[in-house]
Amino acid sequence: MKQLLFVFIGGGFGSVLRYIIGKYLNNPANGIPYGTFTVNILGSLLIGIILGLAAKNNTLNQDQTLLLATGFCGGFTTFSAFAYENQALFKNGDFTSFAVYTISSFVVAFLAVFAGLYVSRILA
């Protein structure tokens, strides 16, 4: 039960922060939803750091990892919004934004995870 509470609390904070960032950075006139892109990249970087710290010398315990990685990062990042926004770009015929957003999201997110893992080695 304690683990569920950690995930719940972390997810709540992550979701609220995602909402705030999306509210200010997502603008349909821009084409690419920069808010969703930002939270997914930051979340990828953070999960790399968090899981890297958790794996190295048990810097983070299981409860801290649940709170931060599963809870916060899980609530902060959003694949469903990413998928919906891509569908909307495609439906509207904005194929350039669709391609740029999709490819850059995957590539930069993967690089952010690797960067986070690298940063975790420096921190630990």
CA distance 72 to 77: 9
Q: Reply yes or no on whether the pLDDT at 39 is more than 90.
A: yes
45-67 pLDDT per residue, tens:
999 999 999 998 778 999 999 99
As a whole number, mean pLDDT of residues 10-26 equals 96
CA distance 39 to 60: 23
Nearest residue to 76 (alpha-carbon basis) of 84, 67, 85: 67
Q: Reply yes or no on whether the pLDDT at 30 is more than 80.
A: no
pLDDT (0 to 100) of residue 58: 79
Nearest residue to 3 (alpha-carbon basis) of 64, 63, 71, 75: 63
When pLDDT is cut at 50, 70 and 90, the band that residue 77 belongs to is: very high
The average confidence (pLDDT) of the chain is 95
Q: How many CA atoms lie within 13 A of 86 on its CB side?
A: 16
Q: Reply yes or no on whether the pLDDT at 31 is more than 90.
A: no
Q: Supply the pTM of this predicted model.
A: 0.93
CA distance 43 to 26: 17
